[in-house]
């Protein structure tokens, strides 16, 4: 039996290594700098002869506080081998952090990491094309998202990670905090986790929290932010007259368009998992809750002619020229009812308060991190790339539900695969 087990482990390792080689090779030979894009602009700056310190100082005072991300991009964008290897590495880091957080006790890494990578790559390819397979998109979105996800995984359970991994997280947490959406989400997760569990490696967690706070404070306090805001007002001239509520509504409009997008698979997977987890459960308002949850998820397909919402600017509430825009608010109402119904169903699924609270927190954090884009006049101009952080949070909810389904239905015994 021992010999058979050793042979099985060897075959698993060989298969996993073969998978890694194919994955790295497929991306290495397909990625390239896109001409006439931000890629070419930043590459020209990196090869202009300007020193990194001068470049970062200029950017900090005239455009952005993302000094860590900008510095990494300035130094490495002219070395294609580095970012051609870094992009698949960051995708794998997301998959590894996800597997470690949810499936390490259920699935061997040879199966768990590819499975998590598969779920990650189910993100709408319009998003991945602008954040993972686009060089400057990688630096500004995939890099901080992967760093933030891994930082949150280590922060949640430091004992599950090696000393090297815990040390690596310190600079990664700073990098992650240099993105507005990721920094906001990561700090929210850090604070909630620290308040929930103060007994586990408290000093280490506080250290990580301080690192993230420092990076985020550097980001939001940069003098260049104000100059950038003035420059970007050309995309939405009326933005200066918006109240805070109108800005939040603009952000929710972006979230709603993505939530109801027929090509967005994540809400549909969540609905499927909720159905699987309640097959043998009976509770009050079950049918009503499911009807509302499913109607909200599929409204982009079912009611597209009645509720005109889409990812195109021309369908945004911002462009209403007459009337009250009731079709938009009807869509918002249905989306909110869908989220509330999903929360109610989740409450009936989980017997553990900790799991329920985590699921609801992830659902709220996904909504908030995407709605956050409404605080910028580029809410619509930014396109699909600002949806990555929210989708990765949504992936965490999917994995939490999938883990519960595996537990309830005994789909896989611990380490059987």
For residue 313, pLDDT over 50 is answered with: no
Confirm whether 336 is domain-assigned: yes
Residues 208 and 315 in one domain: no
Higher pLDDT, 26 or 9: 26
Q: Is the pLDDT of residue 314 over 70?
A: no
Q: What is the pLDDT of residue 267?
A: 95
Q: Is 69 exposed, middle or buried (0-12, 13-18, 19+ CB in 10 A)?
A: buried
54 belongs to a structural domain: yes
Q: Rounded CA gap, 199 and 181, in Å? A: 28
Q: Is residue 8 part of a domain?
A: no
| Residue 356 structural domain | 238-410
Both 194 and 109 in a single domain?
yes
> If pLDDT is split at 50, 70 and 90, which confidence band does 321 have?
very low
Same structural domain, 203 and 247: no
* Residue 206 shares a structural domain with residue 256: no
Q: 80 with 140, same domain? A: yes
Q: What is the pTM of this model?
A: 0.92
Same domain, residue pair 53 and 130? yes
At 315, the pLDDT band (50, 70, 90 cuts) reads very low
* Residue among 28, 366, 380 at smallest CA distance from 189: 366
> Is residue 229 in a domain?
no
Residue range 142-191, pLDDT digits in tens: 999 999 999 999 999 999 999 999 999 999 999 999 999 999 999 999 99
Per-residue confidence band for 50, with pLDDT thresholds at 50, 70 and 90: very high
pLDDT 10s digits, 114-127: 999 999 999 999 99
My answer on whether 163 and 257 are in the same domain is no
Higher-scoring residue by pLDDT: 61, 321: 61
Which of 7-16, 45-54, 301-310, 328-337 comes out lowest in average pLDDT? Answer: 301-310
Is 200 in the same domain as 346? Answer: no
Residues 176 and 87 in one domain: yes
Q: Are residues 101 and 245 in the same domain?
A: no
Whether residue 311 is predicted with pLDDT greater than 60 in this model: the reply is no
What lies within 8 Å, CB to CB, of 13 at 6+ separation is 110
For residues 161 and 299, membership in a common domain is answered with no
Number of domains within the chain:
2
Q: Identify how many contiguous H helices and E strands the chain contains and give both numbers.
A: 19, 0
Q: Does 243 lie in the same domain as 195?
A: no
Assigned domain for 350 exists = yes
Structure tokens at 78: 């002219």
Q: What confidence tens digit (pLDDT) does each residue in 369-401 have?
A: 999 999 999 998 888 999 999 999 999 999 999
404 domain-assigned = yes
- pLDDT score, position 5: 58
Contacts made by residues 37-41, CB under 8 angstroms, sequence distance 24+: 37/134, 37/136, 38/136, 39/77, 39/134, 39/135, 39/136
As a whole number of angstroms, the distance between CA 373 and CA 386 comes to 7
Out of 193, 221, 249, a domain closes at 221
In a domain, 191, yes or no: yes
Round the average pLDDT of the chain to a whole number and report it. 89
Domain boundary residue, one of 189, 221, 253: 221
Final residue of a structural domain among 195, 221, 247: 221
Check the CA dihedral 15-17-22-23 and report its sign. Answer: positive
Which two tokens mark 66?
A: 């993302």
Establish if 232 belongs to a structural domain: no
């Amino acid at each position: 039996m021992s010999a058979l087990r050793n042979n099985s482990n060897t075959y698993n390792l060989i298969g996993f290594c073969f998978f890694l080689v194919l994955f790295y090779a497929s991306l290495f030979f397909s990625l390239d700098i896109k001409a006439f894009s931000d890629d070419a602009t930043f590459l020209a700056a990196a090869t202009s002869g300007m020193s990194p310190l001068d470049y970062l100082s200029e950017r900090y005072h005239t455009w952005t506080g993302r000094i860590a991300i900008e510095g990494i991009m300035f130094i490495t964008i002219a070395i294609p081998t580095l970012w051609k290897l870094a992009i698949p590495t960051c995708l794998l880091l997301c998959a590894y952090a996800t597997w470690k957080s949810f499936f390490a006790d259920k699935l061997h890494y040879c199966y768990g990491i590819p499975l998590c990578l598969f779920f990650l790559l189910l993100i709408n390819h319009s998003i991945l094309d602008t954040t993972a397979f686009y060089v400057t998109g990688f630096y500004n979105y995939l890099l901080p998202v992967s760093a933030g996800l891994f930082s949150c995984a280590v922060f949640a359970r430091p004992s599950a990670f090696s000393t090297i991994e815990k040390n690596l997280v310190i600079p990664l947490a700073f990098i992650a905090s240099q993105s507005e959406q990721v920094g906001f989400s990561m700090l929210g997760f850090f604070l909630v986790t620290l308040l929930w569990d103060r007994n586990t490696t408290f000093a280490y967690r506080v250290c990580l929290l301080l690192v993230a706070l420092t990076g985020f404070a550097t980001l939001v306090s940069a003098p260049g932010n104000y100059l950038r805001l003035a420059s970007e007002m050309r995309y939405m001239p009326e933005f200066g007259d918006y109240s805070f509520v109108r800005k939040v509504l603009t952000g929710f409009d972006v979230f709603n368009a993505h939530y109801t997008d027929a090509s967005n698979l994540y809400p549909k997977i969540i609905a499927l998992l909720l159905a699987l987890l309640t097959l043998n459960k009976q509770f009050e308002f079950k049918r009503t809750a499911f009807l509302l949850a499913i109607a909200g998820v599929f409204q982009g397909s079912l009611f597209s002619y009645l509720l005109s919402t889409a990812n195109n600017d021309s369908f945004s509430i911002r462009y209403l020229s007459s009337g009250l825009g009731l079709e938009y608010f009807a869509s918002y109402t249905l989306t909110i009812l869908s989220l509330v119904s999903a929360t109610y169903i989740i409450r009936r699924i989980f017997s553990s308060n900790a799991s329920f609270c985590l699921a609801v927190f992830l659902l709220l954090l996904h909504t908030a991190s995407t709605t956050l884009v409404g605080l910028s006049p580029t809410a619509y101009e930014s396109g699909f790339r600002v949806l990555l952080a929210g989708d990765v949070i949504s992936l965490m909810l999917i994995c939490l539900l999938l883990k519960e389904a595996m537990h309830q239905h005994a789909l896989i015994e611990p380490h059987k695969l």
